[in-house]
Chains A and B, each alone.
Chain A
């Protein structure tokens, strides 16, 4: 019999509900029927593994992907990926994407009347090191208007996508910037009930990673699901909870 160490479920309140009416796009897309609780099996505790050669070393510097330098304020975004037991998540893929400094995405669907930057694509990726650390160099993304409600503006943010060690640990999130005046008004940032959980999406300005005369540093740590301490050899719904 295969021993399966399940991943822990996210504590109540730390994650958004699927339906969040203030975010209008969720109305027609969030499922209505209750999710079916699935105990973890080998299928959920395994997941894609990406070898080092998959990621181009230059892909972590979004300011050096073109002939010239992008416009905007250069920043360094770095941090650690850990699990709920504060153990590093090593060699895991981190993908980011973002708008340029003017608040425009390089995407046909973005009709915002702000300039594209020929020297900025807005995509990056890297693998964490053995201590779970990652580091990107980029420009600070601009805020931009969107159609959710009258005079709606998204706060500046960078999209993050992480895999972690298993199918169960996959996470996509957004990183925000400290002091952004748009945060209290943004239905996406505010989709999670727990204020402390929301505020952990805000990066922290950091002198230690700020490069003199070059770029401000922001720290953003990401926590993925931790592991149950005992294996589940026999599953029942009650035991899993």
Chain B
């Protein structure tokens, strides 16, 4: 017997009423080991207009590539305070930002390991379902062998990889474009 899953509906324009209590822009506290990164970006609509009512949710592993979840049974250390979850709103200019550590490589298919990545959900008014994407890291050799990136048209892969902001280590920029030439790759999960 199978019960059909509930239909998704938009978060609408007023989601911060329900979401703001759990805003988390620091995913890893300073005592969590790992390469620290600050990520900022914008959500832009089909006209390039900033989306001021967006919510970005982040899910990630720690620096060893272990998730804070009972189904991650890898024998790897997990810091007591690390949950791996973040939620940030966009501001009036469509900007979001958060700080975290670069995650390690987590298992992928066929005994491979995936390149370091953040799992991302995007919610805005106008989206009847959340959009799902991934953010990858620049100058990361394992991007070339990542199984999810390999599913993506090579010309569009760059939409998933953050850019280093000039001369500042650990400062990354990554925009989410909902439509257009440089539309971000979104996944069917």
Contact = CB atoms under 8 A, between A and B. Distances in A.
Residue among B8, B125, B128, B156 with the highest chain A CB neighbour number at 10 A: B128
Contact of A46 (B14, B72, B147, B180): B72
Given A47-B69, A49-B70, A225 B5 contact: yes
Contacts of B179: 28-32
Interface in B28-61: 45-47, 49, 51, 53, 57, 59, 61
A200 interface: yes
A234 interface: yes
Interface residues of B, number: 76
B18 interface: yes
A223 B85 contact: no
B186 A188 contact: no
Interface residues of A, number: 83
A198 B128 CA distance: 13
B83 A95 contact: no
Interface in B118-156: 119, 121, 123-132, 147-148, 151-152, 156
A28 B6 contact: no
Interface in A28-86: 28-33, 35-49, 54, 82-86
A85 B188 contact: no
Contact of B69 (A25, A49, A97, A235): A49
Interface in A83-106: 83-86, 95-97, 105-106
A29 to B, nearest CB: 4
A145 interface: no
A172 B8 contact: yes
Interface of B: 1-19, 21-22, 45-47, 49, 51, 53, 57, 59, 61, 67-74, 83-85, 106-111, 114, 117, 119, 121, 123-132, 147-148, 151-152, 156, 178-180, 183-189
Interface of A: 1-2, 9-11, 14-18, 20, 23, 25-33, 35-49, 54, 82-86, 95-97, 105-107, 109-110, 121-125, 159, 161, 166-168, 170-174, 188-189, 191-192, 196-198, 200-201, 222-226, 232-235
